[in-house]
Amino acid sequence: MADTALTEPRSRADARPRASRGTRRRRPQWVGYLPYLLPGAVAFGVVIGYPLLTNVYFSLFKWRGGMAPLRWNGLGNYVDLLGDDKFWTSFGNSLAMIVAMVLVPTLLGLVLAAVLFDYLGRRFGERVSSVLRATYYLPQILPVAVAGVLWNWILNSQTGALNVILRGLGVETPPNWLGDPDTALPSVMLVLIWVQMGYPVVIFMAALQRVDPELYEAAELDGAGWWDRFRAITVPQIRPETFVVTLTCTVAALKVFGPIYVLTRGGPESSTLVPSYYSYLNFFDKSQVGYGSAIATVLTLVIVAVALIILGLQNRAERREREGV
């Protein structure tokens, strides 16, 4: 899973002898494979490349969409963004999304995977640990819109299950979870943790199967406790998977749209507004297509920058590990 061809040194080393092996006059062998890239190249050009560039183009105009005229605005939309409180709020909330979709699930996932694999799996058998794993993973398989609709009802202030239960317990005025600017963001974060947690558990448990069991046995014979083994074996051994989980979940957290749409629509008072929803709002609700395109462009740049940083950290960690060994 973590085997990115980008970081794999072997593929680079392989390429050189192959290229020089053939006689100079002959066409290199790889040229014959180019037709296989053609459908992919065309499809990506049409569905991703061209729209991406067009979006940047749109962001330089004031445009109400549809048949309305495009009016040149230069970098005006971007200048407006800098002074737009909602824009800053939405990126601030992205940090909360990263806490809820990356930080907490990864830490919880590490501990849960290690407990299931290295502790419960051995004491109560494979079956127990795989049933628990499947349970944790369950929220991941249901459409996020369905999860959102269900939670929206559970958290509803009047008829929702949670507040009906709370009133039954004697709480006179239970919080309006999604309707109060103070509680809306934490509520959304809790839902996202619930949705997200199973993913790292499954990936980490699969990763642990790759770790040589003799490492654990040797450590145990040396008298290492569970925590020592977790720190000295589990965490370093599955570092590649941790990077993959961090990268994919961070990108997902920056892109999050569906849960916000069904839970709060960015409200109340923009307290749960995120960049993707803010651009959607400008595209299809406020008819400010140019402005929406500018938000989407900035979001794209932020995602690419964050991804490059994480990939860079991964490369450095791998290099250090190789040098260490």
Partner 1 sequence: MAAVATDPRPAQVRATAVDSRYRRGAGRWLVLAAAVLVGLAVLAPFGIMLLNAFKSPQDYAANGPLSLPSSLYLDGVVAFWERTDFPVKLWNSVFISALVAVGGALLSLLNAYAIGIGRVKGRLWIIALFLLANMLPQEALIYPLFTMAQSVGLSNSQWSVIIIFTVIQSAFGTYLLSSVLGTFPPALLEAAALDGASRWRILWQVVFPIVRPTLSVLMIFFFIWTWNEFFIPLVMLTSNDTQTIPIALASLQGDRMMDAPTINAGSLVSLVPAVIFFLIFQRTLTRGVTAGAVK
Residues 202-241 that bind partner 1 (CB under 8 A): 202-203, 206-207, 209-210, 217, 241
Nearby residues of 205 by Cβ (< 8 Å), 6 or more positions away: 113, 116, 117, 129, 133
Q: Per CB under 8 A, which region of 74-82, 88-96, 173-181, 192-200 contacts partner 1?
A: 192-200
Amino acid, single-letter form, for residue 311: L
Residue 324 CB, nearest approach to partner 1 (Å): 23
- Name the residue nearer to partner 1 (CB basis): 2 or 185: 2
Residue 267 CB, nearest approach to partner 1 (Å): 13
Q: Per CB under 8 A, which region of 79-87, 173-181, 294-302, 317-325 contacts partner 1?
A: 294-302
Residue 119 CB, nearest approach to partner 1 (Å): 6
Tokens of 33: 């494979």
Is residue 184 part of the contact set for partner 1 (CB under 8 A)? no
Residue 25 CB, nearest approach to partner 1 (Å): 18
Of residues 137-166, which lie at the interface with partner 1 (CB under 8 A)? 138-139, 141-146, 148-154, 159, 161, 164-165
- Closest by alpha carbon to 301, among 72, 62, 91, 58? 91
How far apart (Å, rounded) are the C-alpha atoms in residues 241 and 272?
30
Q: Of 89, 242, 296, 314, which lies in the binding site for partner 1, with binding defined by CB under 8 A?
A: 296
How far apart (Å, rounded) are the C-alpha atoms in residues 250 and 95?
10
Q: Per CB under 8 A, which region of 71-79, 178-186, 278-286, 315-323 contacts partner 1?
A: 278-286
Q: Of 9, 20, 43, 92, which lies in the binding site for partner 1, with binding defined by CB under 8 A?
A: 43
- Region at 195 (left for phi over 0; alpha for psi -120 to 50; beta for the rest): alpha
Of residues 79-108, which lie at the interface with partner 1 (CB under 8 A)? none
Q: What are phi and psi of 71, to 5 degrees?
A: -115, 125
- Region at 41 (left for phi over 0; alpha for psi -120 to 50; beta for the rest): alpha
Q: Per CB under 8 A, which region of 71-79, 89-97, 175-183, 254-262 contacts partner 1?
A: 254-262
Q: Per CB under 8 A, which region of 69-77, 171-179, 227-235, 292-300 contacts partner 1?
A: 292-300
Amino acid, single-letter form, for residue 43: A
- Name the residue nearer to partner 1 (CB basis): 20 or 29: 29
Q: Of 9, 20, 44, 316, which lies in the binding site for partner 1, with binding defined by CB under 8 A?
A: 44
Residue 48 CB, nearest approach to partner 1 (Å): 5
Of residues 123-142, which lie at the interface with partner 1 (CB under 8 A)? 123-124, 128, 132, 134-136, 138-139, 141-142
Tokens of 317: 């960690």
Decide if 270 contacts 86 (C-beta within 8 A).
yes
Q: Of 99, 104, 215, 307, which lies in the binding site for partner 1, with binding defined by CB under 8 A?
A: 307
Q: To which residue do tokens 């050009």 refer?
A: 45
Q: Of 70, 99, 115, 219, which lies in the binding site for partner 1, with binding defined by CB under 8 A?
A: 115
How far apart (Å, rounded) are the C-alpha atoms in residues 195 and 262?
14
- Closest by alpha carbon to 275, among 298, 252, 258? 298
Distances (CA, A) of 204 to 102, 191, 215: 14, 22, 17
12-41 footprint of partner 1 as x/- string (CB under 8 A): x-xx--x---------xxxxxxx-xx-xx-
Residue 325 CB, nearest approach to partner 1 (Å): 20
Which segments of the chain does DSSP mark as H helices, in order?
9-21, 34-44, 50-58, 76-82, 85-98, 104-114, 121-124, 126-141, 144-154, 161-168, 181-196, 198-208, 213-221, 226-229, 235-237, 239-255, 258-263, 275-284, 289-324
Is residue 52 part of the contact set for partner 1 (CB under 8 A)? yes
